[in-house]
Amino acid sequence: MLQHRTLLCPNRIKFLLSVSKFKRHITQIHAFVITTGNLLNGSSISRDLIASCGLIGEISYARKVLDELPQRSVSVYNSMIVVYSRGNNPDEVLRLYDQMIAEKVQPDSSTFTMTIKACLSGMALEKGEAVWLKASGIWV
């Protein structure tokens, strides 16, 4: 039997998330990392948890995980943006981008790329231009 300390290794948790194909398993891992204090603000575990939810189509649960984090990193936001993009939800990508900016989280090149694609998909051309200008550093 594995010791509790061994299970805390982020690589083991990441592996468990990568092989989990059912919401029940992901929610159990989520509960485990919360109770052990391993779900840190914007940690890689948070990012992987959101990504795993998205891969099995649990978009609303992924969003719940994001919303429950007291602080969110750019990688956590990007993970949720990918979930929305794969689910063909360009409007949600744009709302999440706006939330990220409002929370003063600095987008990176991945954020800009996915957000501009969402703008094109949703025909939000003016918004796409604003995102492009911010990405280019012309307008901040």
Question: Where do the DSSP E strands lie in 3-74?
Answer: none
pLDDT of the residue at 39: 60
Please report where in the chains the tokens 């987008």 appear, as a residue: 107
Element (H, E) at 131: helix 125-136
- For the stretch 72-81, pLDDT in tens is 889 999 999 9
**To the nearest whole percent, how much of the chain has pLDDT over 90?**
19
pLDDT of the residue at 77: 94
Are 19 and 66 part of one and the same domain?
Answer: yes
- Residue 68, pLDDT > 60, answer yes
Last residue of a domain, one of 70, 90, 112: 70
The answer for residues whose C-beta is within 8 angstroms of residue 48's C-beta and 6 or more apart is 13, 14, 17, 18, 79
Query: Which residue range(s) make up the domain with 44?
Result: 1-70
Task: Answer yes or no: are the C-beta atoms of 44 and 52 closer than 8 Å.
Answer: no
Are 60 and 109 part of one and the same domain?
Answer: no
* CA pair distance 37, 127, nearest whole angstrom: 39
* CA pair distance 85, 115, nearest whole angstrom: 9
Please report where in the chains the tokens 């029940």 appear, as a residue: 24
Last residue of a domain, one of 46, 70, 94: 70
- For the stretch 48-64, pLDDT in tens is 888 888 888 899 999 99
Are 16 and 46 part of one and the same domain?
Answer: yes
- Mean pLDDT for 22-26 is 81
